[in-house]
Amino acid sequence: QSAIFNFQSLLTVILLLICTCAYIRSLAPSLLDKNKTGLLGIFWKCARIGERKSPYVAVCCVVMAFCILFVQ
């Protein structure tokens, strides 16, 4: 199945996108800051979520890893 139809896979993809965008913004902020609107603005917004809500994102990543490793 694709990640669109499987809810757990969709959550995994979203978490990976948030973490990746936050990491890229920490390395090269100008890369994401120049595209704050439009279609590429999604990556800037994901980086903002990763920066501002980092404890919650980290907890979600740990819970998701636990579910993938031990529940499935």
In a domain, 53, yes or no: yes
Predicted TM-score (pTM) of this structure: 0.81
In a domain, 1, yes or no: no
pLDDT attached to residue 17: 93
In a domain, 64, yes or no: yes
DSSP one-letter string for 17-32: HHHHHHHHHHH-HHHH
In a domain, 48, yes or no: yes
pLDDT by residue, tens only, the chain of 72 residues: 565 678 888 888 899 999 999 999 999 888 888 888 888 899 999 999 998 998 899 899 999 989 889 987
Number of separate domains in the chain: 1
pLDDT attached to residue 21: 93
State which residues form the domain around 41.
Answer: 7-71
